[in-house]
Each structure stands twice: as structure tokens, then as C-alpha cells.
Amino acid sequence: MNRIHFPRWAEVLEKSDLPQSERQSFRVTLRWYLSWCRQHSSGCTFTSAREFVKWASQEKNADDWMVERWRTAIRWFFRTAKQQARDESAQFGRAVSQEIPDTKAFSNTDDTDAERVVAANDDEKEILVTMRRRGMALKTERAYLRWFRDFSRWSGGISGREIKPERVKDYLSYLAMDRLVASSTQKQALNALAFIAQSVFGVDLGDISDFCRAKNRKKVPVVMSKEETRIFFSQLNDQRRLMGRLQYSAGLRVSELLRLRVQDLDLARHQVVVRCGKGAKDRVAPLAERLIPDMHSHLERVREVFEEDLKRTDLDGVYLPEALGRRHSNSGKDWRWQWLWPSREISRDPRSGKQRRHHVLPQVYQGAVSRAGKQAGLNKRVTSHTLRHSFATHLLEDGVDIRSVQDLLGHKSVETTQIYLHVMQKPGTGVKSPLDTL
């Protein structure tokens, strides 16, 4: 049976609409259940859940109402995990294959049909092994696997070695014509299937360029004015405001912001070092002088969390790139390598299975940014990337040359940076609308 992986359950539970007393009850039960699974080297499956409830009822000599309360908590865990997986795949249109069983199976009666789950896929294991051997990012692993599952389903469940060039072209045309996906989405599907076919299964796709391509629309970035940016920041609270101001100050991508380590801050030089950004490139970004006192205070709070974690024997050090982790085995417990924005919750590493403190998840920060944009009353769809767009546009409006902005943003080509010229308050050389001269 496939195991359910839901590391963010405590965070999701805390934000749920359940009453406080019920959330507390669920939290105790689920921590007990997950601890029991670790002790018995068992994954989170319906079989382990039934065994846990049976053991717990005997251990505690529990009444029926207490057993039902445990079942309710575990049902919530499985049901919410399934919904989270569906939401993750929703961006691809039709839902892809789910590896999480129906939560109705976990009931008082044994229902073997409902308990049935999808068997582990040998093709997917082979794909994962190849990607991890090449050191590909976890986000890339998940995206490529979702595309492979979706393509396999659309093709009637074919295996990886049965991939044909004509079928891939038909699928890509289907994405453009039926699903109406964006050009970037279609390109990601092409990259995923080409890599899987050629690098994993040794299938030569040849020239597959003659498929129906999705329209490549030129989008004007959403940019806030300086006044709107000030109002927006006023709607963020505490740490999220500091995160947003740092992202705007340095023009960071959200992934670059969240992956900052303590050693990446150079407060004396007012700089942020972005390591292994897009395209595996490092760069130096500016840090606003007015943020220095707040960053000092924030580092003190992070240090307290770090020292508390050092006292715990059940935690491994912070995640490090594999080569570095092997070369310096104790660097994960070095202060300099700690995340600048540590999560409040302990989670399990999806690859190694180790218990450690990860950084704040993108969804948490992005949700706070979205809510702040609405609360500020802005008639724009504000996302975390809007702060990066605003950083570039405001620099150009202040007279910074476009090549400097290109370097600060980490753009490979100046053509990418030129899009911000279209949203400046004074496009061109002092060009005014003809309406103003009537």
C-alpha cells in the first residue's frame, strides 16, 4: 500500500474552521498516531490506522465514544491529505492520478474494496531514481511525475517504455486545444515527457516539433505604486511584513526569499547573497538600511529557536545540499546554515525521512500576501511576485539603468527586464497622453 505523506497537517489543522477544543483533540490524537507509526516502522495507511485504533483501545481500555473520537481525527487527516493533493494538481486541469485512498474506507466495518489503494508504480520509481541521481530539485520531481501520470492516464495507462512520439505530440496538442493551457505550461509538459522518455526509458522521440502550440501571450506585470506598496505593507503582521519588505528591498523571487540562510545576510554591507537562484546562479542584492534593526531583532528570535532545537535529541540538523552534508556531517547544526525564516512546525524530510525544522512554506507566505492585498483595498491581484515586479519598476522610475536592474533581478537576457519599461509611470521620454494636451 502507498503511504500518505502530509507533513503540513499541523499547520493546516491550525488554520481550519474546526473549534479550538476539537483542533486540540485532533492534534493530540494525530501526534500519538504518527509517533506509533514511527515506533512500528509503519507508514500512514488505512491498515496502520486500524491497527493503531485497535491497539489504543486495548491499551487505554477505551469507551466507544473515545474510540470514535480517535477515528474522527484520523479520518480528518486522510481526507485533508487527499484534498491537499487534489489542490496541488488542480493547476494542470483534469485531476491526475491520486495515490491516496478514499477516506470512507476508514470506518467501523471492514470494507476491503474501499480500503484498496493504487499499487506502487515501477515506472515512477525508475523516474525518481534517475532524477535523484541527477540531483534535480524536489519541486521538479513532483512536477515531472504529475505530468507523467497525467499523460499515462490520457493514453490509457501505457507504461514508460511504450511512449511513442506521435502519442506525445497528440497529448501536447490536446493540452493546447482542449485544456487551453498557457504556453509555459505546455513547455513544462514537453520538458517532462522528453526527459522521462529519453533519459529514463531510452525512448528516442526524434523531432516532435510539429504539434499545436499554445498561444504565447505577452503579459504586462502587475505593479503597485509606491503609495500602494506602503498601504500593502501596513496590512501585513510582524514576521510576514519583514519578509515582504525584504523581498521588495532585494527584488527576490519567493523561492529565493524562503531559502535564505543566516550566513546569506551581510548586514554591514547592506547586502543579501542569493545562492543558487534560477539557472543555478548566485548574485548579490541590496538590503535596505532601514531594515537592519529589524533584521537584528529577527535574528535574535531565530537564534532562540535554533538553541531550543539543539537541545532536542529527536531532531536532525537543517537540510543541506547532499554533497555538503556528506563532506561536513555536522554543518546542519551550525548556526550559519540555519534558515532565515524557520517554520513553526517540525516536519519530516520527504526524501530522507528525517525529522527537522524546514523553512516557512511558500503557500503560507503567499497566502498572507494575498490577504494583505485584499485588506489594503487594492484593485489589483497582489501576489508575492508583485513585490519583485514593483522593485524593478520603481528602480527604473528612479533613474536606475536597465542593465543594473537586469543584474539585480538575475535575468539572463535584458529583453526579460524590458517588460518593466511598459508599466513605468512615465513610459518613453516624457511622453504624455494626447488627451492631456487637448
**Set of cell numbers at residue 161:** 517504455
Nearest partner of 136 among 355, 337, 322, judged by Cα? 322
How many CB atoms are closer than 10 A to CB 275?
15
One-letter amino acid for residue 239 of the chain = Q
Q: Where are the strands (E) in 212-354, listed by range? A: 265-266, 271-274, 283-286, 342-348
Task: Name, in order, each residue with C-beta under 8 angstroms of 249's C-beta and a sequence gap of 6 or more.
Answer: 286, 287, 288, 291, 391
DSSP secondary-structure letter at 339? B
* C-alpha 437: how far from chain center: 50
Rounded distance between C-alpha atoms, residue 232 and residue 376, angstroms: 6
Crossing angle, helix 46-60 and helix 64-89, to 10 degrees?
160
Tell me if 181 sits within 8 A of 136, measured CB to CB: no
Give residue for cell 504539434. 211
Contact 128, 145 (CB under 8 A): yes
C-alpha–C-alpha distance, residues 4 and 402, integer Å: 48
Burial 62-84 (b: 16+ CB within 10 A, else e): eeeeebeebbebbbbbbebbbeb
* Grid cell for residue 419: 517588460
Cβ contacts of 286 within 8 Å, gap of 6 or more: 249, 250, 270, 271, 272, 408
Q: Phi and psi at residue 304, in whole multiples of 5°?
A: -65, -45
What are all long-range contacts of 119-122, with beta carbons under 8 Å and residues at least 24 apart? 119/2, 120/2
C-alpha 307: how far from chain center: 27
Q: What is the DSSP letter of 127?
A: H
Residue that the C-alpha cell 516539433 belongs to: 209
Q: Provide the annotated active-site residues.
A: 253, 278, 385, 388, 411, 420
Torsion of CA 351, 354, 264, 372, to 10 degrees: 80
Terminal alpha carbon distance of the chain: 74
